[in-house]
């Protein structure tokens, strides 16, 4: 069928690229209206990434779609074995509000590269962006192949009641469980890109000025409303105070003395999330920031000291510009403690010690790890991006997106040249001969 052909897939990807280029202005405006993103931040974290994913797929798709030869054991001689990649069929992509362009269109690139028909459901919270995406897709694509469905929770439930061939969801763990339950009714495979409490560990040998800048950037980008953001920092007790000093400097350097005046600092998505975050400010000691403005949906870049693991702020994903800072003395003990918690989407470790880096990699299970930086493993499209355990299942980006939305079909092609007599009953050979044959033929 034409939708499976390489020519059609490439045509769809080029059409998507053209659509994003034509609607860049409206998309930037919508992102500013929905989440207060500056044009630079919006392009870097949303539109630019989509262009990169499309360009990467256009460049490599002819190689990705080729059938893959695999070795055939002697027992199947003289046949041939290979893997072909075919589309699942009709895919549902449910996107969140925090990166409403990137997290709707980047999975769409993979779904189109794999030859699927797609329904995209943007979040109703980012309503301006949702409207622009609907207009853009409606103008450039046949609705029988790609369609944007707008609406709230009821519309999502209505979609989930339908039989799709694959579901791709980005959002929170709680909703992820609902998605998986709905998918189970039709035995629909899913990718769940969820979140979690991403730990950020700072060893005493880390260069604190650079470390603080990289953590502050990762935490307060998009006002902390990022599934990959460092959720909390655990810094070695010996360098806690100088680390906090460097955090103050970094935040001031990024956003000025009053971040609410900075064009580069975002806002909270809505009043409900603002109120949830405001409650979390009641625990611990605020050492940086802490200011709020409900009317403007504004919360300072905030660092909180005096937090323990039992506090409420440590029991749920923060998803906002609040950064608890705790201390540790023994890295091995800390690794054990983190290992007892639900597996996060990301883990960050700052240290120049290769042995300690390896200890963190071996001891903490996470969807991905960046050492001496934040977000870095997400940015590299040659790495699979996804969660593990409570933080999700499945992965995408680059070739991994193509594979996620493709069924890898196993194929054996035999001949009619001859049959092996011992293959068929009645079985007259001895068991010992069969054992020897297996060792030889396999």
Closest CA to 30 of 94, 105, 103, 97: 97
227 is catalytic: yes
Bridge partner residues of 235 (DSSP)? 202, 327
In 84-167, alpha helices (H): 102-113, 127-140, 153-160
- Angle 48-64/102-113 helices, nearest 10 degrees? 10
Bridge partner residues of 120 (DSSP)? 93, 148
Dihedral sign (CA 53, 56, 59, 61): negative
Which candidate in 200, 227, 246, 403 is catalytic?
227
Bridge partner residues of 304 (DSSP)? 286, 324
Q: Terminus-to-terminus CA distance in the chain, angstroms?
A: 37
Phi, psi of 3 (to 5 degrees): -65, -20
Determine if residue 51 is left, alpha or beta; phi over 0 gives left, psi from -120 to 50 gives alpha, anything else beta. alpha
Q: Which long-range contacts (CB under 8 A, 24 or more apart) does 337-341 make?
A: 337/309, 338/199, 338/363, 338/364, 339/363, 339/364, 339/365, 341/197
Q: Quick check: bond before 72 cis, omega within 30?
A: no
- Can you tell me the distance from the alpha carbon of 133 to that of 108, in angstroms, rounded to the nearest whole number? 12
Closest CA to 388 of 340, 343, 349: 343
Which candidate in 46, 193, 203, 246 is catalytic?
193
Bridge partner residues of 419 (DSSP)? none
Cα-based distances in Å from 20 to 15, 99, 106, 257? 9, 15, 12, 36
The SS3 call for residue 388 is: coil
193 is catalytic: yes
Phi, psi of 406 (to 5 degrees): -120, 145
Cα-based distances in Å from 17 to 29, 59, 114, 168, 439? 19, 13, 16, 21, 53
In 141-191, alpha helices (H): 153-160, 173-184
- Can you tell me the distance from the alpha carbon of 70 to that of 13, in angstroms, rounded to the nearest whole number? 29
Instruction: Please give the positions annotated as active site.
Output: 193, 227
């Amino acid at each position: 069928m034409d939708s499976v052909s390489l020519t059609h897939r490439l045509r769809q990807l080029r059409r998507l690229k053209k659509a994003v280029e034509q609607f860049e202005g409206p998309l930037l405006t919508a992102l500013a209206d929905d989440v207060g993103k500056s044009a630079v931040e919006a392009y870097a974290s949303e539109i630019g990434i989509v262009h990169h994913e499309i360009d990467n797929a256009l460049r490599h798709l002819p190689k990705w779609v080729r059938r893959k030869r695999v070795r055939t054991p002697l027992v199947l001689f003289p046949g041939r074995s290979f893997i072909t990649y075919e589309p699942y069929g009709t895919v549902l992509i449910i996107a969140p509000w925090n990166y409403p362009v990137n997290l709707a269109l980047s999975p769409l690139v993979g779904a189109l590269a794999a030859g699927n028909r797609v329904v995209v459901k943007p979040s109703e919270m980012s309503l301006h962006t949702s409207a622009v995406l609907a207009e853009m897709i409606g103008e450039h694509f046949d609705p029988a192949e790609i369609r944007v469905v707008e609406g709230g929770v009821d519309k999502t439930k209505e979609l989930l009641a339908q039989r799709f061939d694959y579901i791709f969801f980005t959002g929170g763990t709680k909703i992820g469980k609902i998605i998986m339950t709905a998918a189970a009714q039709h035995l629909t495979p899913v990718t769940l890109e969820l979140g979690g409490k991403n730990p950020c560990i700072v060893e005493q040998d880390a260069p604190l000025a650079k470390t603080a800048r990289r953590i502050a950037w990762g935490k307060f980008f998009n006002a902390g409303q990022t599934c990959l953001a460092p959720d909390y920092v655990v810094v070695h007790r010996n360098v806690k105070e100088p680390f906090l000093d460097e955090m103050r400097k970094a935040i001031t350097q990024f956003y000025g003395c009053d971040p609410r005046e900075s064009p580069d600092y975002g806002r909270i998505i809505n009043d409900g999330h603002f109120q949830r975050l405001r409650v979390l400010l009641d625990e611990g000691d605020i050492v940086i920031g802490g200011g709020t403005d409900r009317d403007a949906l504004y919360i300072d870049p905030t660092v909180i000291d005096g937090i323990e693991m039992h506090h409420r702020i440590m029991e749920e994903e923060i998803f906002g510009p609040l950064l608890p800072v705790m201390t540790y003395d023994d890295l091995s003990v800390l690794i054990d403690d983190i290992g007892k918690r639900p597996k996060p989407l990301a883990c960050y470790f700052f240290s120049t010690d290769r042995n300690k880096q390896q200890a963190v990699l071996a001891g903490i299970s996470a969807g991905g790890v960046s050492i001496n930086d934040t977000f870095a493993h997400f940015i590299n499209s040659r790495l699979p991006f996804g969660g593990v355990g409570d933080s999700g299942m499945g992965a995408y980006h680059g070739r991994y997106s193509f594979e996620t939305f493709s069924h890898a079909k196993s194929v054996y092609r035999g001949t009619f040249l001859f049959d092996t007599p011992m293959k068929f009953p009645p079985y007259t050979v001895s068991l010992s001969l069969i054992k020897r044959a297996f060792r030889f033929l396999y």
